[in-house]
Amino acid sequence: MAAVLVLAVAGVFIAFRTVQRLESTRIKLEFERAANDRVRAVRADLDSYVNDLYAMSAFYRASYEVTREEFSEFARPLHARHRGLRAFNWAPRVRQEERASYEARVREEFPDFHVIELTADGKLTSAGSRPEYYPVDYIEPLEGNDPARGFDLGSEPRARTALVAARDSGSPSIAGPFQLIGEELEQSGYLAILPRYAGRESPTSLAARRETFVGIIVAVLQITDALRGAIEGLPPAPISVEVADRGHVVAAYRTVSPEDAPQLMTLRRSGALDYSVADSVPFGDRDLSIVCRPTLEFIGLHASPLPWIVLGGGSFLVLALTFYFASLRHEIRERLRADKALRESERRYRVLVEHAPEAVVVYDVDQGRFVDVNENAVRLFKRPREQLLRMNLVDVSPTLQPDGRSSASIMRGLVDETLGGGAPVAPWLHRDSAGTDLPCEIRLVRLPPLDKALIRGSIIDVSERRQAELRQLMMARELDHRVKNNLAEVLALAEQTGMSSRTVEEFRETFSGRVRAMARTHEALAARHWKGVPLLEVVELTLSPYDVTPDDRIVRSGAAVMLGPSASSALCMTLHELAANAAKYGALAVAGGRVDLTWRRIEDGSLKLDWRESGGPPVARPEREGFGTRLVQGVVSHELGGTATIDFHVTGVCCQIVVPPEHLDDAGGDA
């Protein structure tokens, strides 16, 4: 009897522990379902902010001129849809010389208007002088946002960084988090910025975008309110949700109270509450992290007293436990199957209906043909949809694959593996209607219901990927070579500048100027993937810091020439030395001085540049050759195999530079 009793008690205890684990699994599944609903809701809400920005942009492109009333009328219904949207703004690009006329024009409607910025202590004041401004002009709604009118978004460093990124990319950029103007509550704010260009067509090049850039459309977002608005539309569930930006929490919903923290920590240590749902939510050009955790209230709402009933019921309840275990396991299995079917259905919907980037086909094994294809499959195979629906994967492939095996036999093996529950991924050679072979990657997966032999095939054209991998390898090698060369050049500059400088301040000024010249060239080369830079762009990058007066003191002229990477870096350093010397001792050191820089291609294909100074102080040949002179001659001679001749005429310094043709790109460049 004792043995039977021990066995009974042991069986009850084992059953109790088993039910506890199953309850934990069930609660976890309930939590993950509710948490994933919240993640999807936040993602959809943030997507809608960006989509509304695009709607505003389309409205601008469709209108010759958008008035303040038209802006408000269009933005008002968009604003009403979002709880977290503080306002829609329009901020034009105003150059420094246009500021006075712009302020006068706006004051006709708003007498107190002027361009403003924040001081270091957080107060609004008139904006200081800078090359250009981005003042908030149109605001919807105006109520509660009037203090922001005239605020120069370009005066805030984070907003300025996002503004420049949006201008150059033509895509939305996110600034923040920071405290919004006029916002009393401590919650993080964001600016979603979309650039606006002149004309109805979007510019395709960086230079065109910068040239036609006229302003920005801004959605001002309070992230905490946005989080609440997204979640409170769902069925209520006591789940803690946190949104983080680059590791810092910027918004929280139903955070854990201090009273619950010790009990939650105990549950996590015991393994009963060691789960959460974390995901990345895209917002413009930024990814926000969202983490969902269960609360004690959630556990209490979903917990069941059944384990304790089993523990106290003895041997009689062991039978009930067996029934419960079987039913609960069946329920979990069915729920997992239903969740999997839902995910597969959503994935199929996104791929086929929302125009996924890859070609997608659905193959019916029993019928031996496609029963569905998306538009990308039509474009990939260059066949009409009706024709594809009478074909299969073998029909759009060559007879043999690159390894010499039959396409039909390989495909039979892949189909059998898929029907057996596998999800094979394989390289594949397809052929379009024109007879062109297409290197691809195919991914096969079986679709529900399981009583039908349906297989979804995702086909990715990897031609560009292979070319991109090759370009990336070449760029990595070029970058490694460039970094080594740049470090060697910086060390040489530091050593030689130190030897030729009389004071620490002179060393700092001279050395930093030379390093900045190298950095500007490096940025220009990186922007063009190390394929060279137009000569005019090198000239502008190097000489613009020395030509800041209204009259053109540095006159440039010459035909369009594209420089190779070595010539771009060498000429930038050479022109910097000449300009720095002219600004310190020569023609640019006095008001009436002038520099003429001309260039042309000569008979043997070389590039000849002439630097001539005039109107400056009288020039005398130095008693000894300085480092700047040696640098100009050495860079052109040693790095390019060219020549650099410097003449010290009384009327001004003249320098003639010849760059061999192997450092030039005959494809040309921007004039």
Q: What is the pLDDT of residues 478-537, one digit of tens each?
A: 555 455 555 545 544 454 445 445 676 755 655 565 566 666 666 666 666 667 788 888
Q: Which CATH architecture has domain 359-461?
A: 2-Layer Sandwich (3.30)
Model pLDDT, residue 592: 83
Mean pLDDT of 335-351: 69
CA distance 474 to 549: 42
Residue 339 has pLDDT above 60, yes or no: yes
What's the confidence (pLDDT) of residue 306?
Answer: 75
Section 95-122 average pLDDT = 90
pLDDT single digits (tens) 215-249: 999 999 988 888 888 888 888 888 889 999 988 89
Residues of the chain with CATH 3.30.450.350: 52-227
Pick from 381, 379, 361, 380: nearest CA to 371:
361
What pLDDT does 174 receive?
A: 93
CATH architecture type of domain 466-665: 2-Layer Sandwich (3.30)
Mean pLDDT of 547-565: 80
Q: Categorize the per-residue pLDDT at 288 as very low, low, confident or very high, splitting at 50, 70 and 90.
A: very high
The reported pLDDT for the residue numbered 243 is 92
**125-183 pLDDT per residue, tens:** 999 999 999 999 999 988 878 888 999 999 989 999 999 999 999 999 999 888 777 66
Looking at residue 513, its pLDDT comes to 58
Name the 3-class secondary structure at 96: helix
Pairing of strands 286-294, 277-283: antiparallel
**Distance, CA of 503 to CA of 519 (rounded, Å):** 24
Identify which has the larger pLDDT, 482 or 337: 337
Cβ density class 64-80: b for 16+ within 10 Å, e for less: eebebeebbebbeebbe
The CA-based diameter of the chain, rounded to the nearest angstrom, is 122
Q: What pLDDT, on a 0 to 100 scale, did the predictor assign at position 654?
A: 94
Q: How many CB atoms lie within 10 A of CB 522?
A: 18
Q: Residue 88 in contact with residue 227, Cβ under 8 Å?
A: no
What architecture (CATH level 2) is domain 52-227? 2-Layer Sandwich (3.30)
- Of all residues in the chain, the percent with pLDDT exceeding 70 is 79
Report how far residue 412's alpha carbon sits from residue 402's, in angstroms, rounded to the nearest whole number.
17
Mean pLDDT for all residues in the chain: 81
**By the 8 A CB rule, do 121 and 139 touch?**
no
d(Cα 373, Cα 359) in Å, to the nearest integer?
A: 8
Mean pLDDT within 308-313: 78
Quick one: pLDDT at residue 500? 46
**Within the chain, which residue ranges are assigned CATH 3.30.450.20?**
359-461
| More confident call, 275 vs 95 | 95
* Residue with token string 């539309």: 233
Given this model, what pLDDT does residue 130 score? 92
Burial pattern 277-298, b for ≥16 Cβ within 10 A else e, equals bebebebbbbebbbbbbbbbeb
Give the pLDDT confidence score for residue 668 in this predicted structure: 45
Residue 495 is predicted with a pLDDT of 47
Contact 231, 290 (CB under 8 A): no
Stretch 585-593: mean pLDDT, rounded?
85
Q: Over 80: is that where the pLDDT of 320 sits?
A: no
The pLDDT value given to residue 313: 77
Give per-residue pLDDT as tens, 386-430.
Answer: 999 999 989 989 999 988 899 999 999 999 999 988 999 999 888
List the one residue out of 299, 279, 220 whose CA is nearest residue 41: 279
Q: Which residue has the higher pLDDT, 179 or 75?
A: 75
- Of 123-132, 576-585, 621-630, which one has max mean pLDDT? 123-132
Q: How confident is the model at residue 187 (pLDDT cuts 50, 70, 90)?
A: confident
Give residue 493's pLDDT: 45
When pLDDT is cut at 50, 70 and 90, the band that residue 669 belongs to is: very low
Using the structure block, give the residue that is written with the tokens 């999800």: 423
pTM to 2 decimal places: 0.44
Instruction: Report whether pLDDT(318) > 60.
Output: no
pLDDT recorded at residue 102: 93
Query: Does the pLDDT value for residue 626 go beyond 90?
Result: no
Mean pLDDT of the 352-364 span = 77
CA 638 to chain centre: 40
pLDDT at 524: 64
Q: What are 563's strand-pairing partners?
A: 533, 664
pLDDT at 28: 82
